């Protein structure tokens, strides 16, 4: 059972055939290297309780 206090991010990859049913879970402190930078930025600010953040200005 996962601890409800540790946020997780699910990654669903769009792949052909039987590989499409694969889901990976990552802790928010260990996002995959290929996470889009603005998504990682948004997740980091969400975890700090910030409702709004600006990226790329």
| Residue 2 falls inside a structural domain | no
What domain count does the chain have? Answer: 1
| Residue 42 falls inside a structural domain | yes
- Where does the chain show beta strands of DSSP type E? 8-12, 23-27
CB atoms within 10 A of CB 47: 11
Predicted pLDDT at 43: 84
This prediction's pTM: 0.53
Cα 42 to Cα 18: distance, rounded to the nearest angstrom: 31
| Residue 26 falls inside a structural domain | yes
Which range marks the domain in which residue 41 is found? 8-47
Whether 10 has a pLDDT exceeding 70, the answer reads no
| Residue 37 falls inside a structural domain | yes
With a pLDDT cut of 70, the percent of the chain lying above it is 54
Please give the torsion angle defined by the CA atoms of residues 36, 38, 42 and 44, in that order, rounded to the nearest 10 degrees.
70
Helix ranges restricted to H, the chain: 37-47
| Residue 52 falls inside a structural domain | no
């Amino acid at each position: 059972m996962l601890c409800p206090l540790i946020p997780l991010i699910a990654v669903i990859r769009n792949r052909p055939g039987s590989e499409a049913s694969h889901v990976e879970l990552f802790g928010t402190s260990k996002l995959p290297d290929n996470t889009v930078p603005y998504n990682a930025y948004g997740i980091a600010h969400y975890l700090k309780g910030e409702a709004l953040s600006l990226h790329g200005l």
